[in-house]
Structure 1
Amino acid sequence: MTERYLGAGTTAHDESALTGEVPAHLPQRLTITLWDFSWYTQAGPGEPYEDIAAAVADAASLGYNTIRVCAAPLLLFGGLDLDATSLAIEGLGAAPSGGYFGQRTRWYNAPGGYRIDVASRLLTLFDAAREHNMVIVLASWEYQQSTAFAESPEWFEAIDAVPLNERYRVLAAAWNRMIAWLTVHGHRSRIALVEVHNEVDFSILPALEEGGAEQVSWLREQHSDLLVTASYGKPPHLAMHRVPDGLGAAQFHVYSYGVLDELQRIVDIRSEGSNKFPNAALHALLRVDAPGVSEYGRAAEWKYRATVVTDQMIYGYDWVDPAAWDDWLDEHYPPYEHVMMREIASRTIAIAAWARWQQVPAIIGEGWVGYTPLGGNFEEGETGRALAEHGIQTALDNGVWGVVLCSNAAPHHPMWQLREWQSALNARILAVS
């Protein structure tokens, strides 16, 4: 039988080598647990991050070698005359109908009621990371949601007063000072990556090409031994050439909403100001004890300006019946399975290919299924785990340096209880040469 030559497109290429060079002092693979701002907003008595050193030790015991956090650079080093030594944490505040706003909403279930020294806590985090040979991805969520958890609007109002076209410059300057401070305290080698900001495309910031990439480049010049970048929540996967040059790493996120997106559309949960909210579809999924919207009330108005999450999302996720929510997703998932698997793979491959073109390391810092109610089990269940495992393997096959198991695999979320699953996947990631 004669073999036919079908062109170079049929030639197999091994894409498993890292997309870009990694500094020698850092692990050659990162397995990341995402602590976002929760490491200081859920740090009260009995909360997951009350003892930050114990939380780090627990993460290390599961095989994680990297923690990704909001380091609050503007609060600590933004030159905005803010006092971070006794920051009052409130969460979204008490609800008139009982409990507190966000009580059953992922990331937002912070009851508050305590004060915290954020700088001191950050040093404790780095000290614990050194003890367990872990590294830290430093980011900021301040122009996305961190400030909403404070009791006072002072932090939010200070950063909101910065003109839009000055925000990247102020962020870069704050990071420059924070890096110097961490260096003085002996923690420079613990910095895996500095993100000027998390998800610039979903934050109160200009587009990255409108001054942001320039500030990333400036910060890279000041600290040429460190990896510096900015992250995208949804990079332009079909046109990655639109991502500006100058990023030191491709720290982009891969969420495939699929069936979840369809449910959110039907119940109109992500909008604000909708007429006749909640609609009939959402009503059918609410808990029997759900109060009406007016009875439930609203958090302080400034808190909605300080976060990208809407009042309809907070009400909906606080009062939806998670079992009914999961049942709907499970019932309607089969027609979406193929496209969600394919979307995760194609987006991951696009990110890795862009990183290889730019000769920088690639990191998937968040993924794989989108936002669900705190008590829901769709992402933690068999379906969500299969999607996550597919994404992780695709990332490893395409030379991605760092990967999150799932954005909800962290001490403040239910997936943290899947300890054997996390340990096994972390071992698989770290075994890749």
Structure 2
Amino acid sequence: MTAIPTHLPDRLAMTLWDFSWYVRTGPGEPFEDLDAAFAKAVDLGYNAVRICAMPFLLFRSGIDTTELRLEPLDGVRGSDGYGSRVRWYDVREPVVIDAKAHLLDFFRAADRHGVSVIASSWEYQQSPAFAGDPAWYEALHAVDPDDRLTVLGEAQADLVDFLAEHGLAHVIACVEPHNEVQIGHLTAGLPGVEDAVVELQARLEAGIAAFQARHPEVLCAPNYGGVPVGSLRGIPRNATALAFHPYVYGVLDDLIEEFGLRRPPARFPQERADAELLRPGAPRIAEWSLPPEKSWKLQASIMQAAEIYVHDWCDPERFDRWLYDRYGAHRTAMANRLRDWIDVAADHAKRLGVPVYFGEGWVGYTPRDGRFEEGPVGAGICRDAVAHSVRVGAWGTIVCSNAAPQHPMWTDEAIQRECNGAFLKG
């Protein structure tokens, strides 16, 4: 049985700050003032945040990060550019930061406010897409796919060393080699015969072993998108915690499939989208793209061009109405999936004798200004998920992925206080 270190909270009420805490630090951005962001989080009942700590960039890339330029996807300041209405991607202000100094500022602020940190990496999924040049992306992809998780494990150990030098290692609750390991560029070079969770097992075990050889005292959790119920045999045997993201989708899956949001743009049903989802005057999908000199950013991210287009140009109320109109047919299945996935994840953690937490969830990826997950249906799902997390004895959970400073839901204070209070009091 892996015990939770005694200096950490018995339960983690988490808010998901991902890579936003460093890419959105410009004037008027949600993380312009880290102390203010932490103070608000604590006021809302959170005692933990989960972030991309950019470990590869800082400790293994060889890139000078003392003047790291970060910017919107298209490089243009403002609120109307490419990705500007896409949740997590709507960066407005270019900034230049000293990345290691900013990391220290973040951990010092977390320590001041009594907040624990789960340190992950989104670097093989999204983070480098916000850099001003492709050096970070290129350095990541220069690493042989078989070695990427080992290098990430070493980078996370470097991170702990660095924080320890500054008296901050106690702020870390857990490290993850990477976010959602089976979704993104970490699967490159796999045979593709079995599920990626199974085929990634050896790589993940090597990465966790590399970290544990240097910091066996720090919990290390593989992190999975969804709960891969058909391939849990591929979970690393040396994990000391487990992290899952139970996005149940359901009715949202129907919208993604019917409008081809994750297929090539050439197959996009423009006329139907105009009639059912988009704002008047939306450009044609072929007209909405990054400038050629920024096209590498789509490879640095896992977002599909059609999904970015619809999120940028939909009428959020029409998008929500589409989901509400069809939700009834999915309601029971979505509720059952949420319950079953949380049960399965917790049961597998008990079999391994390790803590489990839910770092993201619950419906899925919706436009920034959509309110389906914040509205009455989504809020009910949040309450159910938190109740399930309490029931199975999860170490940590979230209100939902959208409950963070970079999303409109941050202003929905009542539901956050309610859910965090319910989880922490259990």
Q: Residues 161 and 239 of structure 1: is their aligned pair in 2 closer, same or farther, counting only changes over 3 Å?
A: closer
Match for residue 249 of structure 1? Answer: 241
> Is 1:391 matched with 2:385?
yes
Contact kept? 2:75, 2:132, Cα under 8 Å: no
Pick from 332, 342, 345 the counterpart of residue 348 of structure 1. Answer: 342
CA distance in 1: counterparts of 2:77 and 2:423, whole angstroms: 46
TM-score by length of 1: 0.92
Pick from 72, 77, 95 the counterpart of residue 59 of structure 2. Answer: 77
CA distance in 1: counterparts of 2:346 and 2:134, whole angstroms: 40
Match for residue 352 of structure 2? Answer: 358
> Is 1:192 matched with 2:173?
yes
Match for residue 178 of structure 1? Answer: 159
CA distance in 2: counterparts of 1:137 and 1:46, whole angstroms: 26
Q: CA deviation at 1:211?
A: 1.7
Q: Deviations over 1:246-295 (max 9, x none)?
A: 111111110000001001111111222433x3433322211002112233
* SS at 1:189 equivalent: helix
Q: Deviations over 1:334-382 (max 9, x none)?
A: 1111100000000000000000000000000000010001111101101
> Is 1:161 matched with 2:148?
no
> Is 1:294 matched with 2:286?
yes
> Is 1:201 matched with 2:201?
no
Contact kept? 2:68, 2:97, Cα under 8 Å: yes
Q: What letter is aligned with 1:99?
A: D
Contact kept? 2:27, 2:93, Cα under 8 Å: no
TM-score by length of 2: 0.93
Over aligned residue pairs, what C-alpha RMSD do you find? 1.7
Q: What letter is aligned with 2:90?
A: N
> Is 1:421 matched with 2:412?
no
> Is 1:140 matched with 2:121?
yes
Report matched runs for 1:372-387 at 5 Å.
372-387=366-381
Match for residue 4 of structure 1? Answer: none
CA distance in 2: counterparts of 1:133 and 1:51, whole angstroms: 17
CA distance in 1: counterparts of 2:216 and 2:202, whole angstroms: 23
CA distance in 2: counterparts of 1:112 and 1:270, whole angstroms: 28
Q: CA deviation at 1:94?
A: 5.0
Q: What letter is aligned with 1:376?
A: G
CA distance in 2: counterparts of 1:328 and 1:395, whole angstroms: 29
> Is 1:281 matched with 2:306?
no
> Is 1:67 matched with 2:35?
no
> Is 1:367 matched with 2:361?
yes
Contact kept? 1:254, 1:347, Cα under 8 Å: yes
CA distance in 1: counterparts of 2:151 and 2:110, whole angstroms: 28
* SS at 1:93 equivalent: coil
Match for residue 192 of structure 2? Answer: none
Match for residue 124 of structure 1? Answer: 105
Report matched runs for 1:5-20 at 5 Å.
none
Match for residue 96 of structure 2? Answer: 115
CA distance in 2: counterparts of 1:47 and 1:96, whole angstroms: 12
Q: CA deviation at 1:213?
A: 1.4
Q: Comparing both chains, which one has the higher relative contact order based on Cα–Cα distances under 8 Å and sequence gaps of 6 or more?
A: 1
Contact kept? 2:65, 2:99, Cα under 8 Å: yes
CA distance in 2: counterparts of 1:106 and 1:85, whole angstroms: 28
CA distance in 1: counterparts of 2:317 and 2:299, whole angstroms: 31
CA distance in 1: counterparts of 2:59 and 2:284, whole angstroms: 42
Q: CA deviation at 1:111?
A: 2.3
Q: What letter is aligned with 1:164?
A: P
Report matched runs for 1:87-102 at 5 Å.
87-93=68-74, 99-102=80-83
Deviates more, 1:336-345 or 1:51-60: 51-60
Q: What letter is aligned with 1:59?
A: A
- Aligned residue pairs: how many? 412
Q: Residues 273 and 267 of structure 1: is their aligned pair in 2 closer, same or farther, counting only changes over 3 Å?
A: closer
Q: Residues 157 and 112 of structure 1: is their aligned pair in 2 closer, same or farther, counting only changes over 3 Å?
A: farther
Contact kept? 2:150, 2:208, Cα under 8 Å: no
Contact kept? 1:95, 1:298, Cα under 8 Å: no
Match for residue 196 of structure 2? Answer: none
Identity %: 39
Match for residue 310 of structure 1? Answer: 304
Q: CA deviation at 1:297?
A: 2.9
Q: Residues 395 and 238 of structure 1: is their aligned pair in 2 closer, same or farther, counting only changes over 3 Å?
A: farther
Q: Residues 430 and 96 of structure 1: is their aligned pair in 2 closer, same or farther, counting only changes over 3 Å?
A: closer
Q: What letter is aligned with 1:126?
A: F
Match for residue 24 of structure 2? Answer: 42
Match for residue 10 of structure 1? Answer: none
CA distance in 1: counterparts of 2:272 and 2:262, whole angstroms: 14
Which has the greater radius of gyration? 1
Q: CA deviation at 1:87?
A: 1.0
Pick from 223, 242, 255 the counterpart of residue 263 of structure 1. Answer: 255
Match for residue 9 of structure 1? Answer: none
Q: What letter is aligned with 1:150?
A: A
CA distance in 1: counterparts of 2:266 and 2:425, whole angstroms: 49
